[in-house]
Amino acid sequence: DAAGPGGRGLRGAPQPPGAAQRAQPGLLRGDPARHGAARPHPAARAVVLSAAGPHFCAGIELGGPGNPLTAPPARGADPTAMAEGLRRAILGMQAALTAVELCRKPVIAAVHGACVGGGVELVAACDIRYCSRDATFVLKEVDMAIVADLGALQRLPRIVGYGNAADLALTGRRITAAEAKEMGLVSRVFDSKQELDAGVAKIAKEN
């Protein structure tokens, strides 16, 4: 969605009541240059990443048929080919988030509700991060015995410091908006999502 003539926003699709916004692996693969955050409109001053559902992101969708991250091996499948397919899927998602990081326009994350796993990976690739007071952040990968391998482990130490990044990655604990502000993960906390959206839109237009 356009954030007015001075900005450009990317919003998640509206979800059914009570549903959680999840990052689909397919949306993070393909040609990174085709992602809206990588190639904003030439007249845009900034890119705003926000969600329309009750949460910013409930993590990467791990279920579903054909998902290279969790699909069970087919009978007679070549383990080497499966491993290579997983490797390519992860590299594709890494490239998509790197495209956000390399965007020539400032990329602003506007986080409300839960920001889990892949959502934290995404906001770590943004230039500026704001959130509403109900926002929470957590890297859940450690609880699933996997690695947060989309770039957060490399980007977070530059944002919150090595100690805080290690704390988040190794404990999998959930932090509040207040703690995220204290450690420098977000620059400002708004009282509500409505105030967050209005405030970020104003910042994007004036950037």
Q: For residues 16 and 171, give the distance between their C-alpha atoms in angstroms, rounded to a whole number.
A: 31
- Out of 2-16, 60-74, 80-94, 120-134, pick the least confident: 2-16
Going by pLDDT thresholds of 50, 70 and 90, the confidence category of residue 45 is confident
CA atoms within 13 A on the CB side of 79: 0
Q: Give dist(CA 33, CA 3) in Å, integer.
A: 21
H helix intervals, 31-161: 79-101, 118-124, 152-160
Mean pLDDT computed over every residue of the chain: 81
SS3 state at 128? strand
Note whether 32 and 95 are within 8 A (CB).
Answer: yes
Banded pLDDT at 207 (limits 50, 70, 90): low
Distances, alpha carbon 48 to alpha carbons 70, 130, 166, in Å: 30, 10, 28
Q: pLDDT tens digit string along 111-161?
A: 999 999 999 999 999 999 999 999 999 998 887 777 788 889 999 999 999
CA distances from 94 to 30, 47, 91 (A): 11, 19, 5
Tell me what pLDDT residue 8 has: 44
Q: Which residues pair with 137 in a beta bridge?
A: 115, 175
pLDDT of residue 5: 42
Residue 63 in this model has a pLDDT that exceeds 80: no
Q: Indicate the domain borders of the chain.
A: 8-138+175-206
Q: Does domain 8-138+175-206 have CATH number 3.90.226.10?
A: yes
pLDDT score at 75: 72
Question: Which one is predicted more confidently, 54 or 147?
Answer: 54
| Model confidence at 109: pLDDT above 90 | yes
